[in-house]
């Protein structure tokens, strides 16, 4: 009897492993495939998962390094792929930093103070953070168009205009941060206030340093979601040199999937790797945040 149970348990485990391996293969297949396509000369997989025509041509193409192709022609990419990546990084970093700056003090205020209008502000924030900003896409378009007539640097087809629109997403960050501040004991600042600090000094010198981990996590989350956004930059950015990575690469590959597959594969790896690594570096925090209902999914 005992042996039977042991065997059955082993069989169960074996079955589990088989299922998990099968699903693991399906999960990894596209990723392995894209990496190997990016390293093959032809840009397609005729030969199997490890390309027998290993070549860095696709990578040279996207990095803007000239190379000689199979027809003996000199090739330099006419597309500013690295610039798109840089644009995305710029917009995402600036948005993340500004959003943190603006949302920290507000979240602190909501968590620590009692004031007139606090309850209604909280309800208002709650509703606002549920509103996916893409729903106002028509309004954003006309708003930037209008602002651009007065201040060209903030108009359609500018990075600062796009960043402004992202800043409208602060309610979500405020909400997350408020939740964190609520968990900090008030005694932390109270002792500082006793020593004669102003409220702002206590916040700046005592509370903020304590929050650096959660602030950086929220900053990174904002960075990732801004980097991954497609719809707003596709509406608000027009010229090729202004595009973000998401928009540029979508147009690049959609024009001709067949002939640009290899180059697109290399670009995908380049674009996905940093974000993926960032994600894994903070994934423990994300798991906590997930069960509170935030983040994509």
Partner 1 sequence: MWLSYALSISAVILAVLAIWIYGVQKKDAYKFFYPALVLFVLFSLVPISYSVYVSFTNLKTGHLLEREAVIELFKNEVMVEPGSQILNFKLYKNQSDYLIVVDNLSAGFKNNDKSATLGSTIVLPEGIVELSSGEVLDFNDKNPDFKIIHPALGEYSIYRSDMLAIVHSRYTALADGQFQDTITGENLVEDTDEGQFKLAGESIGPGYFTFSGLKNYKELFFDPATKFVFMKSLTWTFIWAGMSVLLTFSLGAFLAVILNDLQGRSKLVYRMIFIIPYSIPFFISVLIFKGMLNKDFGEINSILSYFTISPVPWLENKLWARISVLLVNLWLGFPYMLLVITGIIQSIPKSIYEASSLEGATKFQNFRFLTFPLVLRAMIPLLIGSFAFNMNNFVGIYLLTGGGPVIPDVSTPLGETDILISYTYRLAFEGSQGQNFAMAAAVSMLIFIIVVSLTVLNFKVSKLLKR
Q: Which of 78, 115, 186, 187 binds partner 1 (CB under 8 A)?
A: 115
CA distances from 65 to 20, 50, 60, 82, 213 (A): 41, 24, 5, 11, 39
**Cβ 269 vs Cβ 276: under 8 Å:** no
Residue 9 tokens, joined: 């348990």
Q: Is 26 in the site for partner 1 (CB under 8 A)?
A: yes
Q: Is 98 helix (H, G, I), strand (E, B) or coil?
A: helix
Between the CA atoms of 243, 131, 150 and 240, what dihedral angle is there, to the nearest 10 degrees?
10
- Nearest residue (CB) to partner 1, 22 versus 68: 22
Q: What is the largest CA-CA distance in the chain?
A: 84
Residues 201-230 that bind partner 1 (CB under 8 A): 203, 224, 227-228, 230
Q: Which of 75, 89, 93, 128 binds partner 1 (CB under 8 A)?
A: 128
Q: Which stretch binds partner 1 (CB under 8 A): 58-66, 71-79, 181-189, 260-268?
A: 260-268
Q: Which stretch binds partner 1 (CB under 8 A): 61-69, 183-191, 209-217, 281-289?
A: 281-289
Helix (H) or strand (E) holding 87: helix 81-112
Q: Which of 11, 23, 65, 68 binds partner 1 (CB under 8 A)?
A: 23
Q: Is 6 in the site for partner 1 (CB under 8 A)?
A: no
* Contact mark string toward partner 1, 73..102, x via CB under 8 A: ----------------------------xx
Q: Is 11 in the site for partner 1 (CB under 8 A)?
A: no
- For tokens 């949302």, the residue is 103
Q: Is 14 in the site for partner 1 (CB under 8 A)?
A: no
| Of 230, 236, 84, the residue nearest 156 (C-alpha) | 236
CB of 66 to partner 1, least distance (A): 25
């Amino acid at each position: 009897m005992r042996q039977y149970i042991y065997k059955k348990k082993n069989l169960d485990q074996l079955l589990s492993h088989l299922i998990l391996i099968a699903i693991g293969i399906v999960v990894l297949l596209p990723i392995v495939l894209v990496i190997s396509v990016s390293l093959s000369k032809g840009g397609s997989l005729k030969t199997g998962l490890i390309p027998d025509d290993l070549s860095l041509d696709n990578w040279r193409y996207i990095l803007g390094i000239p190379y000689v192709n199979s027809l003996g022609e000199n090739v330099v990419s006419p597309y500013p792929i690295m610039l798109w990546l840089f644009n995305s990084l710029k917009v995402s970093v600036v948005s993340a930093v500004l959003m943190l700056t603006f949302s920290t003090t507000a979240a602190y205020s909501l968590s620590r103070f009692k004031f007139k209008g606090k309850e209604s502000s909280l309800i208002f924030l709650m509703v606002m953070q549920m509103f996916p900003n893409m729903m106002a896409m028509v309004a954003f378009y006309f708003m930037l168009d209008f602002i651009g007539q007065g201040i060209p640097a903030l108009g359609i087809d500018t990075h600062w205009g796009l960043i402004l629109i992202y800043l409208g997403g602060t309610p979500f960050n405020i909400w997350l941060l408020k939740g964190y501040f609520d968990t900090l004991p008030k005694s932390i600042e109270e002792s500082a206030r006793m020593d004669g600090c102003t409220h702002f000094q206590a916040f700046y010198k005592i509370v903020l340093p304590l929050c650096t981990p959660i602030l950086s996590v929220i900053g990174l989350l904002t960075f990732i979601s801004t980097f991954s956004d497609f719809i707003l930059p596709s509406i608000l950015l027009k010229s090729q040199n202004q595009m973000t990575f998401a928009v540029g690469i979508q147009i690049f590959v959609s024009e001709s999937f067949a002939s640009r597959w290899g180059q697109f594969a290399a670009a995908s790896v380049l674009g996905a790797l940093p974000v993926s690594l960032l994600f894994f570096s903070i994934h423990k925090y994300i798991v906590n945040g997930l069960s509170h209902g935030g983040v994509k999914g």
